Amino acid sequence: MLQFNSYDDATKAKIAARLKNCTDAVGGLNRLLGLIETVHAFEKSPLQNKTASFHYDFGKVSWNKVLFADKVETIAKTVKTHDSLENLLETASKKERNALRTLFPVTVTVTPDEGDEFVFKALDTPDDKTARINPVFELLFFGSTGLVKKIIKEA
């Protein structure tokens, strides 16, 4: 999980800037928080939807690959037990690495009713030997609204 308080100011600013871009794209902080609350309202993770998409009050979220329940559960556990900025290909268990490999091609598209869509990858992969959970992906699907508010306010 994001250990936001332990990061240096440059890292905090980088994460806040990425989140601010998402906030602007969906139409403001309240709409982003509404989107996160919609994700949390699902009985099971929306990442498991067979259509690889879901609607929220102000738009639609879609991704390019269907994810199965066991992979989503493993990814959720990985997000909770590892810092998002560490190289998960080196520190994660074999089961976690295999689940992460399913995320390599995943691209998430958020299409608000008003405004421009924004697109982000599930993993930050600067090279073949490095994989980190994208902070925006983590905050959207696994983060809390309180953490999002804190990141935006500290920006």
Tens digits of per-residue pLDDT, 33-79?
A: 999 999 999 999 999 999 999 999 999 999 999 999 999 999 999 99
Query: How many domains in the chain?
Result: 1
Each residue of 69-120: pLDDT tens digit?
A: 999 999 999 999 988 788 898 988 999 999 998 999 999 999 999 878 999 9
pTM: 0.91
* Per-residue model confidence (pLDDT) at position 49: 92
Residue range of the domain that includes 102: 4-154
Instruction: Check pLDDT > 80 for residue 125.
Output: yes
pLDDT at residue 69, rounded to an integer: 93
Taking the C-alpha atoms of residue 136 and residue 122, their distance in angstroms, rounded to an integer, is: 8
Kindly provide the residue ranges of all beta strands, DSSP E only, lying in the chain, ordered along the sequence.
Answer: 53-56, 59-63, 107-112, 118-121, 123-124, 132-133
Average pLDDT for 12-26 = 91
What is the reported pLDDT for 53?
Answer: 95
CA 141 to chain centre: 5
CA angle 62, 65, 70 (to 5 degrees): 110
pLDDT of residue 126 exceeding 90, the answer is no
State residue 1's pLDDT score.
63
